Structure 1
Amino acid sequence: MQFLGAINFSLPLLASATETADSSMVLAAVLLSLVVIYLASKVGGELSNRFGLPPVLGELVSGVVVGVSVLHLLVFSEGGTDSNLIITFLQGTAGLSPDAAAGVFAAQSEVISVLAELGVIILLFEIGLESNLKDLMAVGIQASVVAVVGVVVPFTAGTVGLMTLFGIDALPAIFAGAALTATSIGITSKVLSELGRLSSREGQIILGAAVIDDVLGIIVLAVVASLAKDGAVDVSKVVYLIISASGFLLGAIALGNFFNKSFVAIADKLKTRGELVIPAFIFAFVMAYLAAAIQLEAILGAFAAGLVLEETDKRKELQKQVIPIADMLVPIFFVTVGAKTDLGVLNPAIPSNREGLIMATFLILVAIFGKVITGFVVFGQPGINRLAIGVGMIPRGEVGLVFLGIGSSIGILSKPLEAAIIMMVILTTFLAPPLLRIVFPDSEAVGVASELILNTSGTPLAVESPTAINSKSNDAANPEATPDGH
């Protein structure tokens, strides 16, 4: 699952920052940041691909290298540091004064964060375009079971374990347990797409479970945040979230039954450039806005929009047109996630980190096994790769950092517990891509699949059809698809 608030941004803050900063210097800082992001993305992705790993892992690692943990090239103002080599470079080459540096730094951080947020919205829209609604509904019961178990088990184990083993008070323990419930749909879906497994039964169950996980996570976050702020749970708000989330998804599915033909008819009448992709993005952004307006997550609306448009006759053409846009914005999201990851919490020389390391070990074990077990509750699917389903639910990504950020802002988390949550997020995020590669050992054989889809990196990617999966033989699939090296 993903949250819109995963990468914090504030339009009022952006406005105030740009008012006090030279706009030309802000633009220069943003352009240099994008140069760093794109270089890091390509170098990391290519190296990862050369070693037979999903390129998204390389993008995340390269983000760590250029971010706050190593080179300090891509640093964000909310991280509590002013050590930004891009701003220092501008001071030395473009005459940026020290007084103006803080305003430029804040504005640059906000712009990159907004672009990263837009990138994940487009990513989920594209994932929706690649996902077949009928296939998702076919695994709906299994996905629901996986999602519920994936929320209940780690939440319960984490909360009880922190209270009994480490003597943590109930409220911070509950908050840390809530951070264990998240699943980063963006990272997992990107890896599945690169491996050619997004349309497999396993991929569809993971994707469906991650969407349901998103809804459950929103509810858990609302309950825990309400408990932390007020000391009591606002039952009416919880009921509202459940009803609005369920109604939104069901409404989006129902919308697809009559919107498809209207969308195609409108696109056919438009004759200027962008006659297909612009209406599609208008629809995606409206759906994202509606989701955010009813206190859900914007990416949930973008994903629903992709599901609706996947049913149209223009699907493949639209996928091709979305690819270049995704290639420009999606890497910003993944590199930014890595850049915001502070590996300093792994330093055992710092006393507070030692206690955090012990708690982190416990949280990591709960985070991994609490999700891996979900694959083994799938029923009625003979021959399915249950381990792959569990592994696909592991990454917390920036979603876990949302829980951490809210807990820190409320002031209920100790420094060791904060460090433990950060380490849990780091390891689950970076472990999942290579582990998915391992649990799908025959990913190279996907090149003989029966259907071509377009992956988020912009190259044709072959995906197994359910028929080919059920027969356990890819040799009989359509030979026109060719592997792309992922």
Structure 2
Amino acid sequence: MAEVTLLLELGLALLLAKLFGEVFERMGQPAVIGEILAGVILGGEVLGGYLGIDLLSEPFKAFADVGVMILLFLSGTEVEFAELKKSGKLSSAVAFGGITIPFIGGYAVMILFGYGYMEALLVGATLTATSVGVTARILMDVGGLNTRAGTSILGAAVIDDVLGIIILAIISGIAVVGAVELNSLLVLAVKIIIFFIITLYLGLKVIGKVAEIENRMISAKAFLALSLSLGFIFGVLAEEMQIAAITGAFVAGLIVGETPYKKLISEDVKVLGYGFFIPLFFVFTGAWIDFSSFTSAGGVIIAALIVAIVGKLIGCGIPALLMKSSKLESTIIAIGMIPRMEMGLIIAAIGVNLGMAGDPAGIVAKETLSLAVVVSIVTGLIPLFFLKGLIERYVQDV
């Protein structure tokens, strides 16, 4: 009976995720919003109880966990070390400012509203990483992708992702240790450094030989399986070092991204991920949301949303001005860096799973995820209203 229930949960989750995802794609919005909405509808607050399904059950959560591992693996494959080196001072300054100000602001908001330091760290982290899918689409439509503003936004977003993973590794370690004393933080920092050095060094050394072995294997998609196994094994190693498992998946993606098979593996993993596992993660995230949290935490959600928007405008716009960008160019960069999406939701969901916002009734957990979802949706809409006209003027001036 349990197996039948799980099959029903998977079938309904995928069906609604893709239907709603298609609707939002046609509206010019990321499909992930529709996938989260599917989770809200199938969750216990709406249809879940009537259908006799539980999307927060351990079996369904296991599929969601695989989904987020694959998503971070894909994120890693899209980061190129050569591109990071070429990102330039402008992208680096924009990324650093765009992470620092929202993080501090998000932390301060949570503390002012009476939440604990772990919840404050978690929300601060959710406000850091930019998702420029909408921005990139607008840039491409009006021919601004290869301008200085366009390349600066894309470069800063890549740096954002890497720094976001590092922040998550630090916060997950703090959650496991359960303290922020200087000695604990120093030990945690050393562990994180050791993890990145070992996995990157060994991975980059071994992956070439693995690729050579794959050339002699006749099994279909052998290197795909080996690449994913690397992500899962690195995830276990990360957990053993008290770091979030998705950090290991991200590093594995970085390593595979340096091989000649990058494009082929990435396409194969996208089929597996976006066709099945990744939507289940966002449906699972949506199932956490409780409508009552929008009223009980309405004030903190609005405050965090303001910080999310203003933090990027100041954190990205001022560094751009200081790097001698024009006011128009700085404005475009700042607005283009406002959207949050996947990384913020991942940080929030992983944080809840780690117990950072853990409480017996799950109230704080639901408030935290609700906040992340609202920030993702609203900030994703902002470029649609403000960016196109600015970029058209900018392209003409250039």
- When normalised by structure 2's length, the TM-score is 0.78
Q: Which amino acid aligns with 1:205?
A: A
Question: Is 1:86 aligned with 2:86?
Answer: no
The match for 2:307 is 366
Helix, strand or coil: the match of 1:70? coil
Give the 3 Å change call, closer, same or farther, for CA 128–194 of structure 1 in structure 2.
farther
* Structure 1 residue 180 displacement after superposition: 2.4
The alpha-carbon distance between structure 1 residues 33 and 265, as it changes in their structure 2 partners (threshold 3 A), is same
Instruction: Give me the whole-angstrom Cα distance separating, in 2, the residues matched to 1:402 and 1:433.
Output: 21
The residue that corresponds to 1:32 in the other structure is 8
Secondary structure class of the residue paired with 1:180: helix
Q: Gaps spanning 5+ residues in structure 2: where?
A: none
Shift of 1:28: 0.4
Q: For residues 35-434 of structure 1, what are the structure 2 equivalents within 5 Å?
A: 35-72=11-48, 83=49, 85-87=51-53, 109-139=57-87, 149=97, 152-158=100-106, 160=108, 168=114, 172-183=115-126, 188=131, 201-220=152-171, 222-223=173-174, 233-255=180-202, 257-326=204-273, 327-347=275-295, 353=296, 356-376=297-317, 377=319, 385-388=332-335, 390-393=337-340, 396-400=344-348, 403=351, 406=355, 409=358, 421-434=368-381
Q: Would you tell me which structure has more helix in proportion to its own residues?
A: 2
Q: Answer yes or no: is the 8 Å Cα contact 2:106–2:127 preserved in 1.
A: no
Q: CA deviation at 1:434?
A: 3.0
* Aligned partners of 1:248 and 1:291 also within 8 Å: yes
Structure-2 change in CA distance of 1:304 and 1:31 (3 Å) = same
Find the aligned partners of 1:141 and 1:255 in 2 and give their Cα distance.
Answer: 30
How far apart in 2 are the matches of 1:421 and 1:276? 38
Contact 1:206 1:393 survives alignment (8 Å):
no
Q: How far 1:321 moved relative to its partner?
A: 2.2
Fraction of identical pairs, as percent:
22
- CA distance in structure 2 between the aligned counterparts of 1:400 and 1:426, rounded to whole angstroms: 9
Q: 3-state SS of the aligned residue for 1:396?
A: helix
Deviation at 1:40, TM superposition (A): 0.8
Distance 1:210 1:373 in 2: 19
Rounded Cα–Cα distance in structure 2 between residues aligned with 1:289 and 1:52: 37
- Map of 1:425-464 to 2, 5 A cutoff? 425-435=372-382, 437=384, 441=388
CA contact (8 A) 1:30 1:111 kept: yes
Change (3 A) 1:71 1:137: farther
Q: What CA distance in whole angstroms lies between the structure 1 residues aligned with 2:37 and 2:180?
A: 39
* Cα root mean square deviation, aligned: 3.9
1 CA distance for matches of 2:288 and 2:133?
A: 19
Q: TM-score, normalised by structure 1?
A: 0.65
1:256–1:308 Cα contact (<8 Å) kept: yes
Preserved CA contact (<8 Å) 1:182 1:214: no
Over 3 Å counting, the alpha-carbon distance change for 1:160 and 1:282 in structure 2 is closer
Counterpart-to-counterpart distance in 2, 1:29 and 1:294: 35
Matched residues, number: 375
Higher relative contact order (CA closer than 8 Å, sequence separation 6+)? 2
User: Structure 1 184/249 Cα, relative in aligned 2: closer, same or farther at 3 Å?
Assistant: farther
Answer with 1 or 2: which has the greater Rg.
1
For residues 58-85 of structure 1, what are the alpha-carbon distances to aligned partners after superposition, in whole Å with 9 as ceiling and x for unaligned?
222222222234322xxxxxxxxxx352
Preserved CA contact (<8 Å) 1:154 1:177: no
Q: Please, which runs of 5 or more residues in structure 1 have no aligned partner?
A: 1-24, 73-82, 88-104, 348-352, 446-470, 474-486
- By how many angstroms is 1:397 displaced? 1.7
**Aligned partners of 1:84, 1:137: CA distance in 2, in Å?**
54
Q: Classify 1:44/1:319 alpha carbon distance in 2 versus 1 (closer, same or farther; 3 Å).
A: same
Question: How far apart, in 1, do the equivalents of 2:284 and 2:313 lie?
Answer: 27
Counterpart residue type for residue 366 of structure 1: V
Q: What SS does the aligned partner of 2:125 have?
A: coil
